[in-house]
Amino acid sequence: MTTATETLPQLTNDEIKRYSRHLIMPEVGVDGQRRLKAGKVLCIGAGGLGSPAAMYLAAAGVGTIGLVDYDVVDFSNLQRQIIHGTPDVGRSKLASAKDRLHAINPHVDIPTYETALSSENALQLFEPYDVILDGTDNFPTRYLTNDACVLLGKPNAYGSIFRFEGQASVFATKNGPCYRCLYPEPPPPGLVPSCAEGGVLGVLPGIIGVIQATEAVKLIAGIGEPLIGRFLIYDALRMHFRELKLRKDPDCPVCGTHPTVKKLIDYEQFCGLRPAAAEAAPVNASNSLEISAVELKQRLDRGEKLRIIDVREPNEWQINRIPGAQLIPLGEIPRRYAELDPDEELVMQCKMGGRSAKAADFLRSVGFKRVLNLRGGILEWIDKVDPTQPKY
Amino acid sequence: MATTKILIPTPLRPYTDKQEAVEAHGATIGELLADLTKRHSGLKAHLYNEQGKLRSFVNVYLNDEDIRYLQKEQTPVSPGDTVSIIPSVAGGCAECSADL
């Protein structure tokens, strides 16, 4: 990324004034700032990680900051997605983010791509950029971003968060490891909770996103020791950073010595979120192992004996609950299922239906015969049956 | 036998009564994890697949080194070592509309 100095753009007088705290540091200086001005970073996602990252990149004078997102600002984003404000609720995240970034620094160019990153568009989107900043929220896009970075030879400033723990690294540099060297395969769907389900400490993405931005700035300016071959783990509750070694796996299917992945694949399928096309089932196939919120209400109204087991955590239970439900958090099911009557009909319930499906599978595996999963969880219950309760 | 400290990542803490670190016995990583899953049975499905192999989205570190580059589950554990379980985490975090 060290472009010959003479081809770098010059700084205007306004820019010299703005970036003076960089310019007086020999590690950045005028040439480093010109590199930043020529630099192009693509942020995948304008959410928790993308917000602080893009804001600092703009302030630092990275000349082009691309944003990929297709979401709309929601009230529940504002606890951590600081690029958006209360008046932005309902606006496209891209429009909101672009306004904020231009308010911070009108000298930077903000191309926006209102689309979901896909195997069809990723290579073309990434092509003009120097660094890709992965601030996505799901495994298919993580693997897609990684593979596209490896195939194009673009470094990936990676960050990921869950509750109060964050991870960061720089993947896919020329001699460094990639995300697949670390995790060759994704977890099966449902085994790892999402942020919407597990929650996230609002300040956490601030730390991790700014680490990603720091790495992007260092890579573009060509300074310091990048976070390559190192995996940084941050625990906000303990205020503790740990660093683990990462090695490039010679057998890595995408960046190893004999790669088997030479073009982008179907990542939804790779992550088990969609069966292979040939065996795809009709989307609305009725499922005898599930029950809808409306059906559940009708059966309760008829006075049928159904026991509802809420497998969420106690703090979620405090927000809302279905009357008559009993709380047994998912993690406690394996040692508490003896409290349940195997002859009684059980309805397992969580926030959206994922955790309760796991609980139902578990109960069936230990011999329970009459176990239903509440499709859509309590959110669907609130939408369809009891709109007076708050949603989260 | 000496015990070894195992650091439990946030997503797996529901299975260790919310503890961030637990102790287990064992002379090798394999023995240690077997003892760990015996003490906290809910962890088993998260660490091992149906064939009894460590899942590929869960990495185990002895101090700061990935056991895949040591002797895998046969890696000996010495007094004072710390073992970490590091699962992959996808959060970014918008409102993940995933399946959960």
Q: What is the pLDDT of residues A57-79, one digit of tens each?
A: 999 999 999 999 999 999 999 99
d(CA A273, CA A141): 12
Check residue B93 and give its pLDDT. Answer: 41
pLDDT digits (tens, 9 = 90+) for A229-274: 999 999 999 899 999 999 999 999 999 999 999 999 999 888 887 6
Tokens 């000349």 identify what position?
A: A63
CB contact under 8 A, A238 and B20: yes
Check residue A334 and give its pLDDT. Answer: 84
| ipTM, 2 dp | 0.82
Residue of A nearest to B58 (CA): A183
DSSP strands (E only) in A24-163: 40-44, 64-68, 112-113, 131-134, 156-162
Nearest to A368 by CA among A346, A335, A336, A390: A346
Co-location of A345 and A272 in the same domain: no
Check residue A288 and give its pLDDT. Answer: 72
Catalytic residue check, A252: no
Cis bond leading into A350, ω under 30°?
Answer: no
pLDDT cut 70: percent of chain B above it: 89
Co-location of A149 and A235 in the same domain: yes
CB contact under 8 A, B93 and A186: no
Looking only at Cα atoms, what is the longest distance across chain A?
81
Kindly calculate the radius of gyration of chain B based on its CA atoms and give it in whole angstroms: 14
As a whole number, the mean pLDDT across chain A is 91
> Average pLDDT in the B35-48 region?
91
Q: Domain containing A326 — which CATH number?
A: 3.40.250.10
pLDDT digits (tens, 9 = 90+) for B13-27: 888 988 999 999 999
Co-location of A69 and A137 in the same domain: yes
User: At which of A278, A302, A319 does a domain end?
Assistant: A278
Domains and CATH numbers, chain B: 3-87 (3.10.20.30)
Bridge partners (DSSP) listed for residue A307? A346
> Average pLDDT in the B73-79 region?
94
Co-location of A69 and A176 in the same domain: yes
Closest approach of B31 to chain A, Cα-based (Å): 22
Q: Which of B69, B84, B98 sits opposite A194 (nearest CB)?
A: B98
**Structurally, how many domains does chain A consist of?**
2
Check residue A282 and give its pLDDT. Answer: 40
Co-location of A77 and A203 in the same domain: yes
Co-location of A345 and A237 in the same domain: no
Q: Range of A228's domain?
A: 39-278
pLDDT digits (tens, 9 = 90+) for A334-392: 888 889 988 899 999 999 998 899 899 889 888 899 999 999 999 999 999 999 999 98
**A14 within domain boundaries:** no
Nearest to A175 by CA among A292, A243, A256, A110: A256
Catalytic residue among A149, A195, A252, A271: A195
pLDDT digits (tens, 9 = 90+) for A101-145: 999 999 999 999 999 999 999 999 999 999 999 999 889 999 999
Check residue A234 and give its pLDDT. Answer: 96
Contacts of A368 (CB under 8 A, 6+ apart): A337, A340, A342, A346
Check residue B49 and give its pLDDT. Answer: 85
CB contact under 8 A, A183 and B69: no
**A194 within domain boundaries:** yes
- Listed by number, the residues of chain B in 8-67 with a beta carbon closer than 8 Å to a beta carbon of chain A are 9-11, 14-15, 20, 41-42, 45-46, 55-57, 59, 61, 64-66
**A184 contact residues in B (CB cutoff 8 A):** 56
pLDDT cut 70: percent of chain A above it: 93
Check residue A186 and give its pLDDT. Answer: 85
Check residue A191 and give its pLDDT. Answer: 59
Check residue B96 and give its pLDDT. Answer: 33
**A192 contact residues in B (CB cutoff 8 A):** 11, 57, 87-90
Check residue A235 and give its pLDDT. Answer: 93
> Average pLDDT in the A275-286 region?
43
Torsion over CA: A216, A218, A219, A225 (sign) = negative
Co-location of A188 and A310 in the same domain: no
Catalytic residue check, A350: yes
pLDDT of residue A277 exceeding 60: no
Residue of B nearest to A377 (CA): B100
CB contact under 8 A, A187 and B59: no
Q: Are A371 and A364 in contact (CB under 8 A)?
A: yes
A16 DSSP 8-state letter: H
Q: Which two tokens stand for residue A189?
A: 């769907």
Check residue A215 and give its pLDDT. Answer: 98
Check residue A232 and give its pLDDT. Answer: 97
Q: Domain containing A239 — which CATH number?
A: 3.40.50.720
Q: Are B11 and B89 in contact (CB under 8 A)?
A: yes
**A226 within domain boundaries:** yes
**A106 within domain boundaries:** yes
> Average pLDDT in the A300-328 region?
93
Residue of A nearest to B66 (CA): A245
Select the more confidently predicted residue: A98 or B47: A98
A346 φ, ψ to 5°? -110, 140
Tokens 């060290």 identify what position?
A: A2
* Span of A111-120, A286-295, B33-42 with lowest mean pLDDT: A286-295
**A174 within domain boundaries:** yes
Contacts of B87 (CB under 8 A, 6+ apart): A187, A192, B9, B11, B12, B46, B57, B58, B59
Nearest to A307 by CA among A352, A387, A363: A363
Closest approach of B27 to chain A, Cα-based (Å): 22
Closest approach of B60 to chain A, Cα-based (Å): 11
pLDDT of residue B92 exceeding 60: no
CA contacts within 13 A on the Cβ side of A388: 2
Residue A370, class by beta-carbon neighbours within 10 Å (0-12 exposed, 13-18 middle, 19+ buried)?
middle
Check residue A171 and give its pLDDT. Answer: 98
Sheet with strand A345-349: strands edge to edge: A290-291, A371-374, A345-349, A306-310, A326-327
Taking CA A16 as the corner, what is the angle to CA A13 and CA A17, rounded to the nearest 5 degrees? 90
**A10 within domain boundaries:** no
